[in-house]
């Protein structure tokens, strides 16, 4: 009887405890369920993914991300990757409802029986998804309860495969890598399907403690954890004993992405980034997972970088030595001070350039220390160029001995050389160096597809490491005489022909309103007298240009400049005819390209295509269409055809007349050195007042190249009769063009229909000149006008009297052919 009574009491207590316990659990569940994040948002999961820029050849150019991640759908992941992470992190993942109760009990028992050890966790994959996506990392009981509740809800809503997809793309695996695919690339330089079993097991070992199991810092722990994962895979039947033994014996080889796979074009990449920021915003580029196919041609970019750098070095050496890179006052502490200098002021320039310390100066030799291979020597023959730089870019007397250039303690820039310049020179002894100097002049280069505006290369200065300012895009400078083709185009529109004669003589202009009289000069200060328009452009005659501008009207010239994108706004003032308005190298290159392509509109583009994270094309730059592209092959498929529906926005005949005259600039004019390239190049030099800026831009039907040289804080480059666009910028163009056109046939410019080609003798010789119908010599519409303020001037036969400045009046001979 007493036993029965005791049983009833215990049963009542148990029932009460069950009711209270159930109520407590229900209450806790209700309490902690309140205000939980909506787990259904995981259906629209879009992780922050790296945006990547690729060069035209498919190589990686740049990568932008807040979290380095590559999203891979679970269906595309190898089965072994899924198995490894499940074995390592959640053995019963495919059978439990969100929480592994067996694992929880095991963890509780382990933590109670081993109080001195680090507490063992029991969060499975689903719980980790709940924590990583919906909760914080705060280590509290309340967070664990919320995590458990969310895990149940996630399991009810999503499949196991979807949960794995979320987990494997979000999890942090150390060294800035988020997601298993990104980790595979950055640790082993492999995609997921290329990983070995050993590598997969190592990645699966990382979630528990990425820093602790970093193989570079803790090799022993890393291998132990990898082997643990392999053991779990064996126990769970995912691998067999032979696979286990082989993977366990493998040594992990971390392979960082090779430098050969990443293209270096920092100025180009930064400009693309700026454009993407403007189009898609900061979040779009750093989290949106954009795939950007750029227009960059890595081979041309390397050529442009080297040519610009060599051109800047050539100019800089010609203007003398500015002194040592740095100075070490106390040679007893030279090693420490040298290390500080190298750290504070990293050397920019060619990879072969090095810093060195002068340890001894002899009569014909300088001894160097601090070099990577120890000591070296600098013969006087390799420093004779180092005359002191004087104000206004003038140069002092050449040095007579090494002591005139350097002294002990100087930190200088050197480059290893094998022999002196000259074909028959004897080789130098080993570890012989030449004196170098980092230029303080800057410049830019742009290589553009003439027909489409695709920017194939862009160099924005000496080194991106020294200055991120991009002189090709951000430097607004006066183009000087490089603007003249647009003045001449307005003149062709107004009825001038290449054979029209304009007086090259002193000119003065009174702008009125109390402003000083403007009296422009020719480069060199000479006058040629009556001269053909063609010859005026070839020799870049300022006075002829302003006379034509005055006759044509500056408003018409401004309109032409706007049409071709040289400027958006420009005052209709006569000095603007000589390039006084500011523009950029990229704009000028675009404008010259549109001259060369017959006034077909282009927009400079550094990007061919942008795809979103799902591979959908959201931007494409191609002004032309392709007929037959993408069609299914039939019995006799037609070859795809590029269709250009663009119409010229300016009279093609007048444009070609200017282009044809510009061909003379590169054969008989201020850039005549380019005739050696043996192909038609429509180009023009540019030199501004006081030689502050030097330009050259040249076009073929395929490629347009623009070059600019000048100081960041505008000042003279030197004497105006020496520092010109033809002397400084054109050689850089030539160096690029030689490589770009190497092995390629010359392409002639297309002549618009209806033009007349007439044999014409002028100051530069006998050529085939281009005329609009009815304006050629001998026609009623032929207009040969002497612009001197006195009206028309009739044609003069060849061999006529000499004119001012010794120029012979042009003659017109021969008959023509219509195109």
User: What is the DSSP-derived secondary structure letter of residue 238?
Assistant: S
Bridging pattern class, strands 765-771 and 816-818: unpaired
> Is 481 tagged catalytic?
yes
What 8-state DSSP symbol labels residue 399?
Answer: P
Catalytic residue (one of 123, 463, 481, 699): 481
Q: 57 with 298: CB under 8 angstroms?
A: yes
Task: Determine contact, residues 537/529, Cβ cutoff 8 Å.
Answer: no
Q: Spell out the SS3 assignment of 264-318.
A: CCHHHHHHHHHHHHHHHHHHHHHHECCEEEECCCHHHHHHHHHHHHHHHHHHHHH
659 contact partners, CB below 8 Å, separation of at least 6: 595, 596, 682, 699, 749
Helix axes 542-552 and 554-563, enclosed angle (nearest 10): 100
What is the rounded distance in angstroms from the CA atom of residue 814 to the CA atom of residue 489? 25
Report the C-alpha gap between 758 and 538 in whole angstroms: 19
Among the listed residues 50, 51, 89, 720, the single catalytic one is 89
> What is the token pair recorded at 554?
């500056």
Rounded distance between C-alpha atoms, residue 721 and residue 710, angstroms: 16
Yes or no: say if 195 and 202 are a contact pair by the CB < 8 Å rule.
no
Tell me the three state secondary structure of residue 799.
Answer: coil
Q: Which residue is listed with tokens 């528990």?
A: 208
CB-CB contact of 560 with 650 (8 Å): yes
DSSP bridge pairs for 292: 53, 610
Helix axes 125-134, 160-170, angle to 10 degrees: 60
- For residue 487, the 8-state DSSP code is H
- For residues 628 and 615, is the Cβ–Cβ distance under 8 A? no
Alpha helices in 75-124 (DSSP H): 79-89, 101-113
Report how far residue 151's alpha carbon sits from residue 90's, in angstroms, rounded to the nearest whole number: 13
- List the one residue out of 596, 512, 497 whose CA is nearest residue 548: 497
Query: What's the CA gap between 425 and 190, in Å, rounded?
Result: 50
Cα 262 to its chain centre, rounded Å, is: 12
Query: What token pair was written down for 40?
Result: 């259904």
Cα(48)–Cα(284) distance, rounded to whole angstroms?
9
Within 8 A by CB and 6+ apart from 675, the residues are: 666, 667, 668
d(CA 438, CA 641): 49
Residue 626 tokens read as 């392709």
CB 164 within 8 A of CB 125: yes
- Distance, in Å, from the CA atom of 316 to the CA atom of 438, rounded to the nearest integer, reads 8
Residues in the chain: 819
Residue 792, classed as helix, strand or coil, is coil
Give the separation between CA 11 and CA 555, rounded to whole angstroms. Answer: 105
d(Cα 201, Cα 203) in Å, to the nearest integer?
Answer: 5
- Coil/strand/helix, residue 706: strand
Q: Are 484 and 540 spatial neighbours (Cβ–Cβ below 8 Å)? A: yes
Query: How many angstroms separate the CA atoms of 222 and 225, rounded?
Result: 5
CA angle 720, 466, 713 (to 5 degrees): 35
Q: Within 13 A of 768's CA, how many CA atoms are on the CB side?
A: 8
Catalytic residues: 89, 481
């Amino acid at each position: 009887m007493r036993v029965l009574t005791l049983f009833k009491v215990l049963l009542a207590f148990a029932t009460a405890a069950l009711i209270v316990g159930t109520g407590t659990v229900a209450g806790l569940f209700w309490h902690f369920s309140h205000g939980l994040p909506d787990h259904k948002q995981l259906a629209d999961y879009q992780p922050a993914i790296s945006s990547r820029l690729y060069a035209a050849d498919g190589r990686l150019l740049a990568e932008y991300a807040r979290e380095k991640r590559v999203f891979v759908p679970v269906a595309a992941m190898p089965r072994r990757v899924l198995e490894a992470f499940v074995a390592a992190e959640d053995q019963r993942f495919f059978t439990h409802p969100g929480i592994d109760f067996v694992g929880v009990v095991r963890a509780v028992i382990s933590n109670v029986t081993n109080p001195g050890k680090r507490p063992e966790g029991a969060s499975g994959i689903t719980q980790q998804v709940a924590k990583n996506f919906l909760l914080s990392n705060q280590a509290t009981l309340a967070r664990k309860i919320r995590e458990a509740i969310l895990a149940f809800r996630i399991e009810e809503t999503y499949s196991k495969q979807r949960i794995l997809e979320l987990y494997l793309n979000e999890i942090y695996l150390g060294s800035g890598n988020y997601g298993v695919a990104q980790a595979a690339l950055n640790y082993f330089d492999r995609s997921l399907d290329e990983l070995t079993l050993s590598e997969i097991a190592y990645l699966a070992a990382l979630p528990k403690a990425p820093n602790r199991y970093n193989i570079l810092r803790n090799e022993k722990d890393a291998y132990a954890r990898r082997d643990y994962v392999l053991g779990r895979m064996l126990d769970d039947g995912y691998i067999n004993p032979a696979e286990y033994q082989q993977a366990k014996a493998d040594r992990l080889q971390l392979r960082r992405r090779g430098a050969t796979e990443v293209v270096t074009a920092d100025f180009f990449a930064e400009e693309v980034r700026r454009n993407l920021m403007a189009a898609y915003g900061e979040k779009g580029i750093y989290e949106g997972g954009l795939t950007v196919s750029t227009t960059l041609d890595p081979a041309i970019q390397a050529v442009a970088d080297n040519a610009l750098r060599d051109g800047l070095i050539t100019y800089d050496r010609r203007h003398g030595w500015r002194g040592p890179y740095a100075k070490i006052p106390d040679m007893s502490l030279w090693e420490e001070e040298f290390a500080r200098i190298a750290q504070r002021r990293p050397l920019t320039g060619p990879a072969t350039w090095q810093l060195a310390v002068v340890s001894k100066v002899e009569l014909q030799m300088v001894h160097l220390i601090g070099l990577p291979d120890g000591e070296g020597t600098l013969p006087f023959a390799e420093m004779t160029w180092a005359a002191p730089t004087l104000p206004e870019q003038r140069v002092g007397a050449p040095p007579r001995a090494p002591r005139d250039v350097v002294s002990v303690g100087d930190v200088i820039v050197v480059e290893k050389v094998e022999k002196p310049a000259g074909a028959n020179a004897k080789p130098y002894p080993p570890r012989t160096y030449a004196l170098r100097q980092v230029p303080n002049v800057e410049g830019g280069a742009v290589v553009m597809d003439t027909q489409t505006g695709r920017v194939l290369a862009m160099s924005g200065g000496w080194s991106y490491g020294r200055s991120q300012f991009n002189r090709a895009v951000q430097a607004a400078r006066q183009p000087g005489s490089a603007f003249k083709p647009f003045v001449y185009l307005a003149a062709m529109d107004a009825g001038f022909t290449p054979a029209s004669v304009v007086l090259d003589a002193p000119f003065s202009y009174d702008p009125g309103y109390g402003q000083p009289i403007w009296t422009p000069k020719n480069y060199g200060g000479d006058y040629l007298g009556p001269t053909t328009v063609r010859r005026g452009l070839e020799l870049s005659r300022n006075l002829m240009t302003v006379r034509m501008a005055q006759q044509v009207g500056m408003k018409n010239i401004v309109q032409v400049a706007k049409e071709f994108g040289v400027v958006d706004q420009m005052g209709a003032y006569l000095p603007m005819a000589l390039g006084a308005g500011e523009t950029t190298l990229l704009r000028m290159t675009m404008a010259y390209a549109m001259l060369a392509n017959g006034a077909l509109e282009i927009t400079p583009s550094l990007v061919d295509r942008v795809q979103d994270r799902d591979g959908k094309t959201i931007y494409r730059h191609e002004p032309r269409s392709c007929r037959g592209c993408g069609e299914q092959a039939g019995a006799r498929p037609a070859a795809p055809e590029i269709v250009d529906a663009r119409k010229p926005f300016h009279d093609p005949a007048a444009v070609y007349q200017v282009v044809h005259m510009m061909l003379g600039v590169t054969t008989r004019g201020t850039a005549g050195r380019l005739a050696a390239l043996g192909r038609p190049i429509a180009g023009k030099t540019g030199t501004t007042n006081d030689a502050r800026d030097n330009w050259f831009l040249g076009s073929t039907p395929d490629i347009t190249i623009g070059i600019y040289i000048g100081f960041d804080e505008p000042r003279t480059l030197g004497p105006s009769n020496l520092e010109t666009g033809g002397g400084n910028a054109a050689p850089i163009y030539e160096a690029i063009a030689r490589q770009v056109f190497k092995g390629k046939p010359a392409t002639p410019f297309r002549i618009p229909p209806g033009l007349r080609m007439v044999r014409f003798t002028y100051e530069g010789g006998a050529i085939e000149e281009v005329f609009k119908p009815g304006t050629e010599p001998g026609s009623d519409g032929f207009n040969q006008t002497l612009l001197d303020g006195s009206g028309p001037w009739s044609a003069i036969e060849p061999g006529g009297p000499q004119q001012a400045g010794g120029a012979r009046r042009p003659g017109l001979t021969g008959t023509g052919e219509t195109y």
